[in-house]
Amino acid sequence: MAKINKKKVFLKFIGLFALSIFILGCSIGTSFKPNEIRSFKGTLIPELSPEPILIETVSIDLIRKEKNKEPLNLPLSLLNYSPESYKVGAGDVLFIYVYGETERLSAALARGAAINPVFEKIVRDDGSIFYPNAGILDVAGKTVEEIRLMLTDSLSNVLNNPQVDVSVSEFNSQKIIISGSFSNVGTVAVTTVPQTLSEVIANANPFGVNGLRSLGDLTSVKFTREGYTYEIDYEYLARNSQIQNYIYLKAGDVIHLPDNSLSQVHVIGEASSPISINLTRKNIPLSVALAQAKGLNQATSRGKDVYILRPKDFEGKPRIFKSDMSSPSGYLVAGEFNLQAQDIVFVGTAGVTSWSRFINQVIPFTNFINSAEDTDLIKN
């Protein structure tokens, strides 16, 4: 009985298997059907979701629905905060004017008397000031009106009906901290004039030198207040002027603009030049991302099979979209479909390309069989 050449049998099996895959691929294609439900656990998105993921076709209706889903992502505690009257603290400089008394002291000084007219007083570290004929006054934590009343009451012992005016000439006790990728980082003094989040961010200049965009991610500004940190999409906020003008800041708030190096969109597959794009703003249209990847590879791509893999949407759920880029109308729709940070755009392959790649994967394996036989790993 003739010996069976195991190597040849194995290679024939591989060839028949490859041929069957090719025929099957020609009949059903390699793309997923729109609105087809498939579970990608362990395949495209390992362990991302235990539930089947619906593949959604990119359309005008879908785009409209997505825009309506954009979250406000602002807690009510920020929206409902109303600025309080400024309260004096250590380091502040108070301007105190006592009508009649101040003029008398100034006149005495003009005559060469050893008397200093008291106009400004620095609040000490313990929160107090000293004013002649009024003594030591504890002013920390009090408004200028409360300090005015304190002085008026104290000076009534030495003056008839004293008229007192108090204001803050230097605000040094309370700060808002600006950090990260802003052009102007540091501290912003809290004053008697309430400041909004949009005003402070604008003054900190998130757009870089000479108006050039910085590396900051305005879609995830970190806002910290009283130990809690909130992530705010400032670009979304800026589009809602009726909201942004009512987010007031207070002492101790920290505004951090993170680096956008991790905020990327990845274009892979059969794009002419696969690329990772740093987002300088929240929304980049699908058509723009593909343009930066120099379009679809005309020789190897399948325009009908452009997938957008979104690891996490507004609700924290993974989603998959499919866009048909095989016609001009597809590009028009793609121009309205906005990508998010960490989205993966996968350009599918044409059927012949899939076959070619399969063969390229099989050939190295057959070479392994050859070397295995040579080393007696497979024997006849």
User: For position 114, which CATH number holds?
Assistant: 3.30.1950.10
Whole domain around residue 324: which residue ranges?
Answer: 30-69+263-363
The pLDDT of 193-220, averaged and rounded, is 75
Residue 215, both tokens: 């590396």
Predicted local distance difference test score (pLDDT) of residue 51? 62
Range ranked top by mean pLDDT from 45-49, 55-59, 167-171, 356-360: 167-171
Tell which wins on pLDDT, 138 or 369. Answer: 138
* Residue 16 reports pLDDT greater than 70: no
Predicted local distance difference test score (pLDDT) of residue 356? 55
* Residue 34 reports pLDDT greater than 50: no
Mean pLDDT check: name the lowest of 42-51, 137-146, 268-277, 349-358: 42-51
Predicted local distance difference test score (pLDDT) of residue 241? 64
Predicted local distance difference test score (pLDDT) of residue 35? 37
User: Sorting pLDDT into bands at 50, 70 and 90, what band is 63?
Assistant: confident
The pLDDT of 225-235, averaged and rounded, is 86
Domain shared by 247 and 269, yes or no: no
Residue where a domain stops, chosen among 257, 280, 307:
257
* Residue 332 reports pLDDT greater than 50: yes
Share of the chain above pLDDT 70, in %: 66
The pLDDT of 132-138, averaged and rounded, is 90
* Residue 130 reports pLDDT greater than 90: yes
Tell which wins on pLDDT, 73 or 266. Answer: 266
Range ranked top by mean pLDDT from 39-43, 110-114, 223-227, 260-264: 223-227
Domain shared by 297 and 354, yes or no: yes
Domain shared by 209 and 165, yes or no: no
Residue 368 belongs to a domain: no
Domain shared by 64 and 142, yes or no: no
User: Sorting pLDDT into bands at 50, 70 and 90, what band is 113?
Assistant: very low
Residue 232 belongs to a domain: yes
Predicted local distance difference test score (pLDDT) of residue 92? 97
Residue 369 belongs to a domain: no
* Residue 320 reports pLDDT greater than 70: yes
The answer to whether 178 and 204 are in contact (CB under 8 A) is yes
Domain shared by 193 and 160, yes or no: no
Mean pLDDT check: name the lowest of 205-219, 272-286, 364-378: 364-378
Domain shared by 153 and 196, yes or no: no
* Residue 248 reports pLDDT greater than 60: yes
Residue where a domain stops, chosen among 130, 150, 170:
170
Number of domains within the chain: 3
Residue 17 belongs to a domain: no
Domain shared by 338 and 303, yes or no: yes
* Residue 308 reports pLDDT greater than 50: yes
* Residue 211 reports pLDDT greater than 60: no
Residue 348 belongs to a domain: yes
Domain shared by 166 and 179, yes or no: no
The pLDDT of 218-241, averaged and rounded, is 82
* Residue 28 reports pLDDT greater than 60: no
Instruction: Report the alpha-carbon distance of residue 193 to residue 176 in Å, rounded.
Output: 14
Single out the residue of 313, 282, 287 nearest to residue 54, CA to CA.
313
* Residue 329 reports pLDDT greater than 70: yes
How far from chain centre, in Å, is Cα 276? 17
Residue 301 belongs to a domain: yes
Predicted local distance difference test score (pLDDT) of residue 69? 64
Predicted local distance difference test score (pLDDT) of residue 347? 92
Domain shared by 267 and 359, yes or no: yes
Tell which wins on pLDDT, 116 or 330. Answer: 330
* Residue 111 reports pLDDT greater than 80: no
- CATH code of the domain covering residue 200: 3.10.560.10
The pLDDT of 62-67, averaged and rounded, is 82
Domain shared by 194 and 164, yes or no: no
Residue 374 belongs to a domain: no
Residues 270-298 have pLDDT tens digits of 999 999 988 766 678 999 999 999 999 88
Domain shared by 150 and 212, yes or no: no
Residue where a domain stops, chosen among 128, 154, 170:
170
Predicted local distance difference test score (pLDDT) of residue 50? 55
Residue 329 belongs to a domain: yes
The pLDDT of 239-252, averaged and rounded, is 78
